[in-house]
């Protein structure tokens, strides 16, 4: 069994231009590094050996990698370091293998061996001033405009598109710019029209508490598009959007015990249409990443199954869900907006909860067109375009969603 490397082997975004390296020398299991600007730090020798990207060791970016952690034993050590070529470091290992590294990349890692974690920008009812709005024509034709909207989605988990034509083809055309459309049991692009024989709550005229969609799936939908075709202006149906990360942080600050329950114990969500489907998932309502940061939310009061939590936990869990429900129903935490025809809201279904006020279906028909986009696809589109438009943002670790 190998030891865990001291530093995560993960590309780091070099925030500022790092100084060139003045010296490197072996120091026990580590390599001491001195930079030209006087700063100094260390790298793990095993990490350094494993990071070699020569033809023999392989290429991390494309995944054609041949050197494995098992090849990088504790006894490994470097015979010599050459830092005399500007921008380059050459290391000769004890077995004669030669590795070459980018000096700036190594210099960036001595102080910050872990990748930068992206800090989401939290919002409440104040979102209206900050919400990113992007024109359909620009987003479908211009990668820079698409990138700006992807950045807004990364920051706030939500963006608005304007001037979206009412055709089905337009919904798929713009949604496809963000990543692969995920086909669900309702199809690829589906229509939400208020109707008397409603199968899902979205087709009724009733009010809906803000929720995430389909928390009963192991992997809930990633990003959701709501494209307004017809809206019942004056008849209700105002969209209520809530930043799940914001309310989670409020819980962490105000009721830490309840916050902890939602991050530690599973809650079961389910959905059954008899004889057709029976989805069920037990998962954390609030997902945390390895550093304890909120990384995803799943919550829909209408999909809660009778819980199987042990007797000594069940009341606490219900109180935690009640507190969460109070917070997401508080107008101070809601961005409220009456969608207009031609507008589309795009939002991260594993961060942003969506709901709406009731409306009167006898006054107006409400018709939204919706589709789901894979979450990985959206973040992949962001990173790929960041390589072109904002290279320093491409490698930050983004919040990774409702990951149990
Ligand atoms: Fe929904």
CA distance 73 to 9: 16
Q: 341 CA to middle of ligand 1, Å?
A: 19
CA dist., res. 162 & res. 136, Å (int):
6
89: β partners: 101
Q: By residue range, what is the domain housing residue 316?
A: 127-393
Q: How confident is the model at residue 376 (pLDDT cuts 50, 70, 90)?
A: very high
Out of 57, 87, 111, a domain closes at 111
Output the CA 140–ligand 1 centroid distance in Å. 26
Residue 12 lies in a domain: no
Length of the chain: 404
CATH number of 169's domain: 3.60.130.10
Q: Is residue 196 part of a domain?
A: yes
What distance in angstroms lies between residue 85's CA and the mean position of ligand 1's atoms? 58
CATH of the domain at 37: 3.30.2020.30
Distance CA 375, CA 219 (A): 10
pLDDT for the residue numbered 284:
97
| Residue ending a domain, choose from 111, 140, 165 | 111
Rg (the chain; Cα; Å): 25
* Same domain assignment for residues 273 and 372: yes
Average pLDDT over residues 27-44: 92
What is 117-147 written as a DSSP string?
A: BP-----STTHHHH--EEEHHHHHH-HHHHH
The pLDDT assigned to 176 comes to 94
Do 57 and 143 lie in a common domain? no
Alpha-carbon span 60 to 52, nearest angstrom: 9
On whether residue 221 sits in a domain, the answer given is yes
For residue 354, the CA-to-ligand 1 centroid distance in Å is 6
Task: Clarify whether residues 63 and 180 are in a common domain.
Answer: no
**Are 198 and 266 in the same domain?**
yes
Q: Is the pLDDT score of 309 beyond 90?
A: no
Say whether both 197 and 338 belong to one domain: yes
Instruction: Indicate if 198 and 252 belong to the same structural domain.
Output: yes
What gap in Å lies between CA 206 and CA 36, rounded to an integer?
Answer: 66
Residues 6+ apart with CB under 8 A from 35: 18, 19, 20, 21, 22, 107, 110
Domain-embedded: residue 7: no
What's the 89 CA to ligand 1 centre distance in angstroms? 53
Q: Structure tokens of 101?
A: 């590294």
CA of 212 to the centre of ligand 1 (A): 6
Domain boundary among 111, 141, 172: 111
pLDDT in tens, 50-72: 999 999 999 988 889 999 999 99
Nearest to 212 by CA among 105, 352, 375: 352
On whether residue 401 sits in a domain, the answer given is: no
Q: Does 199 have pLDDT greater than 80?
A: no
59 and 84 fall within a common domain: yes
| Closest by CA position to 301, among listed 203, 201, 186, 194 | 201
Name the pLDDT band for 204 (thresholds 50, 70, 90).
confident
The answer to which of 135-139, 185-189, 263-267 has the lowest mean pLDDT is 185-189
123-140 pLDDT, tens digit per residue, is: 999 999 999 999 999 999
Let me know whether 159 and 199 are in one domain: yes
Within a domain: 172: yes
Helix (H) or strand (E) holding 390: none
| 176 Cα distance to chain centroid | 18
* Confidence (pLDDT) at 11: 41
90 and 146 fall within a common domain: no
CA of 191 to the centre of ligand 1 (A): 13
What does pLDDT average to over the chain? 89
pLDDT at 206 over 90: no
Q: Three-state SS for 397?
A: strand
Over range 270-287, report the average pLDDT.
Answer: 94
Distances (CA, A) of 220 to 67, 240, 310, 402: 35, 20, 26, 8
Reported confidence tier of residue 184, pLDDT bands at 50, 70, 90 = confident
| Number of independent structural domains in the chain | 2
Query: What does the alpha-carbon distance between residue 240 and residue 352 come to, in Å, rounded to a whole number?
Result: 10
Nearest 5°: the CA angle 169, 174, 175 is 95
Claim to verify: residue 133 and residue 95 sit in the same structural domain: no
Burial of 56 (0-12, 13-18, 19+ CB in 10 A): exposed
Would residue 84 count as lying in a domain? yes
Q: How far is the CA of 213 from the centre of ligand 1 (A)?
A: 5
Question: How much distance in Å is there from the Cα of 383 to the middle of ligand 1?
Answer: 28
Whether 150 and 26 map to the same domain: the answer is no
> Which pLDDT band, with edges at 50, 70 and 90, does 251 fall under?
very high
The pLDDT value recorded for residue 202 is 63
Mean pLDDT is lowest, of 140-144, 169-173, 310-314, for 310-314
Q: Specify whether 69 is located in the same domain as 135.
A: no
Question: What are the phi and psi torsion angles at 98 (to 5°)?
Answer: -110, 125
**Structural contact between residues 392 and 15, judged by C-beta atoms closer than 8 angstroms:** yes
Q: Which residues of 357-366 are buried (b: 16+ CB within 10 A; e: fewer)?
A: eebebeebeb
Q: Is residue 5 part of a domain?
A: no
Cα(102) to ligand 1 centroid in Å equals 48
């Amino acid at each position: 069994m190998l030891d865990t490397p001291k530093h995560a082997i993960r590309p780091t975004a070099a925030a500022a231009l790092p100084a060139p390296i003045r010296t490197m020398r072996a120091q026990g299991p580590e390599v001491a590094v001195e930079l030209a600007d006087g700063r100094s730090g260390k790298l793990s020798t095993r990490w350094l050996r494993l990071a070699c990207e020569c033809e023999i060791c392989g290429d991390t970016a494309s995944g054609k990698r041949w050197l494995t952690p098992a090849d990088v034993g504790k006894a490994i050590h470097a015979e010599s370091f050459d830092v005399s070529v500007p921008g380059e470091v050459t290391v000769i290992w004890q077995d004669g293998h030669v590795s070459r590294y980018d000096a700036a990349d190594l210099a960036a890692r001595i102080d910050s061996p872990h990748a930068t974690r992206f800090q989401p920008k939290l919002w409440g009812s104040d979102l209206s001033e900050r919400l990113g709005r992007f024109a359909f024509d620009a987003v479908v034709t211009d990668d820079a405009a698409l990138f700006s909207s992807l950045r807004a989605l990364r920051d706030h988990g939500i963006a608005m598109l304007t001037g979206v034509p009412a055709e089905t083809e337009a919904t798929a055309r713009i949604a496809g710019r963000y990543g692969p459309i995920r086909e669900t049991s309702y199809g690829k692009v589906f229509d939400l029209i208020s109707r008397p024989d409603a199968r899902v709550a979205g087709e009724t005229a009733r009010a809906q508490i803000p929720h995430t969609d389909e928390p009963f799936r192991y992997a809930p939908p990633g990003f959701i598009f709501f494209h307004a075709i017809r809206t019942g202006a004056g008849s209700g149906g105002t969209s209520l959007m809530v930043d799940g990360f914001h309310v989670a942080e409020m819980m962490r600050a105000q009721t830490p015990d309840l916050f902890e329950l939602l991050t530690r114990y599973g809650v079961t969500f389910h959905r059954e249409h008899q004889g057709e489907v029976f989805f069920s998932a037990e998962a954390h309502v609030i997902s945390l990443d390895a550093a304890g940061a909120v990384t995803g939310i799943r919550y829909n009061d209408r999909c809660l199954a009778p819980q199987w939590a042990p007797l000594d936990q069940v009341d606490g869990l219900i109180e935690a869900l009640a507190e969460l429900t109070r917070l997401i129903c508080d107008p101070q935490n809601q961005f409220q907006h009456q969608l207009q025809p031609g507008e589309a809201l795009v939002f991260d279904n594993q961060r942003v909860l969506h709901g709406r006020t009731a409306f009167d279906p006898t006054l107006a028909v409400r018709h939204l067109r919706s589709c789901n986009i894979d979450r990985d696809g959206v973040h992949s589109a962001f990173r790929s375009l960041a390589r072109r438009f904002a290279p320093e943002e491409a490698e930050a670790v983004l919040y990774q969603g409702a990951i149990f």
